[in-house]
Structure 1
């Protein structure tokens, strides 16, 4: 299937509260018609692959769209694992697609069709529909579940592999122990919110540490986000309560104990949420992304996270969506930071140079509202839209 000749519809719906300029030319963005709405993107050495809303997987090779597989759940992320694509079938099997387009399925269909995966070396990890954690290993061309353990993980949570202790031993982190009664906001697709974060040994699947929030607090989140603040590894998460709404928190580890090492202010009222953005060593969030989204930078000061406003009229989330990765922070030489995120209407992608204050470098029109995670690979950003395009955007060099 060749790239579409349709030209993107021009929609101008940007309202940044800083000086703006377009800065984009036709050469900066190309839109590739993939025939269905892209939900998840994954990159490898040969290009970018997309999991579509109809369950197909395609890869973009130059201007060509190559069919790779079908029958995957569009609600579970697509992962690149050393050049091999991993996803979850609609029936819960682990699906792999190798570089020769050979598709294999795990013998047992155990996985939640909404849960994330993690992979490293010759192992992969996933979440069962009943909250168990599963470890898969290669047996020939097939992935086989070799271990499972009770974890009460949320069936739509993302698994993260991170060296939070900084000792070279990466652990699995997953949100668990859901409650449907503590905080009834439902901004992430259902009323069940996790109340605990687990640290799990990737080999034995033993729970090594557990951070449980006191009632009525929850983690209004699906994804622990690794970063390093002041040379200390941490995980960024959203904590929320009925009285205060959401707040940004950093999770750290001392010896074997997980704890909140720094927290930002909450909203002081219920039903207000924020979506974090992290770089390797910088922390941002879009506050109220559904009602006039505001971009803030957070600086750690002891056990506090101090927010500083940067821009308004942006958004990184749609109410009810489990897609939390529609923006990116790119840390460049000299301390400069490039932030890519959608406009409030999500019909444009905005490039901000945030060196102190933020300056708009470019504004890229899309054919429809953003529909996928934002993937940065080499000098390009990739994002899907609801019109059925994968958009390839050349990163500004400023």
Structure 2
């Protein structure tokens, strides 16, 4: 098995079955699948801090082709991806496809959202594309690389959209995509629904954010039915990172349903664990070196 210094220090490996199979980004900038039978190095160049996603078939999805084409640098460095790569790990690891991002755009983030937004049982790939002409916009691709839909562009350079989650946020359980528009400035949470080939904003909430300027922590918010009332909430920090707000959809749009004080300042990503009974626990690390868990 690999030594600790074989791994990229900016992300984490992902386990695969059977035991002792591992996919990881190397310290030298490669992608490797390790098993007891040997090591497979794939012909891709990952983003150094890319988060590898794994689906039920143990396929991998990650951002590739690092570039300095759009040096916004709000996510800790000026490298952003110019490709999205899908990989099969069985029976033999191979690259299925790489979706190229046409210049001058890049993917501004560390991972796509890989979720069924259309409700047809097949996952789509959702990314934030950014360029110097129009800033950021959300774009939805099929796994084959076809563009399915796009949302509105911010319309200004160095203005970011942070994609958060796809979940049945709607009052009738409609699938919606949540993001934060300009998390360092405007701090507007948006809920989108898919309308043909467009992502349309159906509700907004101001005053909450999902990212600190310059941080690689892009998982500070999460979506689930945290209070067990049958409705999905978006749990997201306030601008001071001292409290979480649970944002829910309402008849008038969306609002803060309840809040959850942290009693310090949030220092890490938000983690969630679901028990066998379906109960969701939430945990976060604080700046005072305390792990705060809400069981």
Pairwise CA distance, 1:251: 2.1
What residue number does 1:342 align with? 237
- Report the TM-score when normalising by structure 2: 0.86
Q: Which ranges in structure 1 are unaligned for 5 or more consecutive residues?
A: 1-104, 164-168
Shift of 1:354: 2.3
Is 1:127 the equivalent of 2:25? yes
The alpha-carbon deviation at position 308 of structure 1 amounts to 2.9
Deviation of residue 316 (structure 1)?
0.6
Q: Per-residue deviation at 1:194?
A: 0.6
Instruction: Indicate if the aligned counterparts of 2:283 and 2:294 stay in contact, CA closer than 8 A.
Output: yes
DSSP-derived class of the 1:373 partner:
strand
Give 1:105-254 correspondences, 5 Å limit: 106-107=2-3, 109-122=5-18, 123-137=21-35, 139=36, 146-162=39-55, 169-180=57-68, 182-203=69-90, 204-232=92-120, 233-253=123-143
Q: Tell me the distance in 1 between the aligned counterparts of 2:43 and 2:6.
A: 13
- Structure 2: runs of 5+ lacking an equivalent: 168-174, 274-278
Any idea what the Cα deviations from partners look like across 1:215-240, whole Å, max 9, x if unmatched? 11000011122221232321221111
Indicate yes or no: 2:283 matched with 1:382: yes
195-204 or 325-334: bigger deviation: 325-334
Answer 1 or 2: higher relative contact order, Cα 8 Å, separation at least 6.
1
Q: Deviations over 1:48-98 (max 9, x none)?
A: xxxxxxxxxxxxxxxxxxxxxxxxxxxxxxxxxxxxxxxxxxxxxxxxxxx
- Decide whether the 8 Å contact of 1:131 with 1:151 is kept in 2: no
CA distance in 2, matches of 1:161, 1:229: 17
Structure 1 counterpart of 2:276: none
Deviation at 1:157, TM superposition (A): 0.5
Could you list the runs of 4 or more consecutive aligned residues of structure 1 that deviate by over 6 angstroms after TM superposition?
332-335
| CA 1:387–1:229: 2 relative to 1, 3 Å | same
State whether residues 105 and 129 of structure 2, in contact with CA within 8 Å, keep that contact through their aligned partners in structure 1: yes
Q: Over aligned residue pairs, what C-alpha RMSD do you find? A: 2.2
Q: TM-score, normalised by structure 1?
A: 0.65
| Distance change (3 Å), C-alpha of 1:389 and 1:215 | same
Answer yes or no: is the 8 Å Cα contact 2:5–2:27 preserved in 1: no
Report the alpha carbon displacement of residue 309 of structure 1 after superposing the two structures with TM: 3.5
Matched, 1:275 2:162: yes
* 1:145/1:295 CA distance change after superposition, 3 Å: farther
Tell me the distance in 1 between the aligned counterparts of 2:117 and 2:156. Answer: 28
Aligned positions, number: 276
CA–CA distance in 2 between the matches of 1:336 and 1:282?
Answer: 13
Q: How is 1:63-82 mapped onto 2 (pairs within 5 angstroms)?
A: none
Q: Does 1:358 align with 2:254?
A: yes
